[in-house]
Amino acid sequence: MNLTLFKADLKGNAILWAIIAYVMMMYFSVMSLMFDPTDTSALASMLELLPEGLMSSFGFNSVSTNLTSFLADYYYGFLVFMFPMIYCIVAANRLVAKLVDNGSFAYLLMAPVSRRTIIVTKGAVLLSSIAMLFAVLHIGGSAVCRMFFGDMLNQSIFLRLNINAALLTMLVGMICFFYSCYFNDSKLALSFSAGVNIGFLLLFMLGGVSSQSEWLKKLSIFSLLDTQRILEGSGTAGLEPLLAVLILALFGLSVWVFDRKNLPI
């Protein structure tokens, strides 16, 4: 890995990263403040006004009087996927495909650094920035909950939720990174990255509409964030080992593909 390139790429995506981190924390704060441990009737009444299928697709099926369960259902059940996915799609494209498409990658290859080192560095930038997003969410989310609800948040489960959500987002990021490495055309890389991941998200949503369509959810990578099993304290909750293997496999495949392809420069 090249440290100079690593720092430059982190800086190049800093504004996008900051916007996504801000939006994630804003939505987390809003969802947290909707929690009322003494009276859930107001939120339940509001949900009843909306179509049942729509609420089920977002995972909003019930209102818990437990803060940790409430956040697991209402934030980590769906919202936690959306904005990091946007970051992954845009950042992965910026790191590789956009530079190849506009010819800027040629300047990197002029440096005394191998092509493999360059692409490994760029993959590390994407994974590191995702990890930092969820570190901010965990630290900031813990602070918000402590400020308004004292010690009601189960810190160990909250940490587990964030670790699993970070790993799942890294998998999304590596899918985007693979297409960014595979295609020389930036638009094609964006189209496939967005299309595949949005497709997985739609399958996840449709699978939550009814029991008859539940099988669709199992076809989505987003089902790998099993919030219910994490809340229950299951030893295999979130399938962390599987997520880690998939991340490393896609990272390795991306490096292999990019190292062997012909670049239009």
Kindly state whether residue 83 falls inside one of the protein's structural domains: yes
pLDDT at res. 130? 96
DSSP 237: G
pLDDT for the residue numbered 237: 53
64 occurs within a structural domain:
yes
- Residue 70 CB partners (closer than 8 Å, separation 6+): 35, 63, 64
Say if residues 33 and 148 touch (Cβ distance below 8 Å): yes
Euclidean distance between CA atoms 60 and 37, whole angstroms: 17
Q: Are 125 and 153 contacting, i.e. CB atoms less than 8 angstroms apart?
A: no
DSSP H/E element including 185: none
Q: What is the mean pLDDT of the chain?
A: 84
> What pLDDT does 101 receive?
84
pLDDT score for 79: 83
Cα separation of 93 and 83, whole Å? 16
Low-confidence ranges of the chain (pLDDT < 70): 39-65, 208-211, 213, 234-238, 265
Report the candidate in 122, 221, 237, 229 with the shortest Cα–Cα distance to residue 180: 122
Domain that holds residue 117: 3-260
- Tell me what pLDDT residue 181 has: 93
Task: Give the chain's radius of gyration (CA, Å).
Answer: 20
Residue 40 confidence (pLDDT): 56
Classify residue 265: in a domain, yes or no. no
Tens digit of each residue's pLDDT (9 = 90 or more) over 57-104: 455 555 566 888 888 888 888 788 889 999 999 999 999 999 888 888
Count: domains in the chain: 1
3-state secondary structure of 40: coil
Per-residue confidence (pLDDT) for residue 64, from 0 to 100: 62
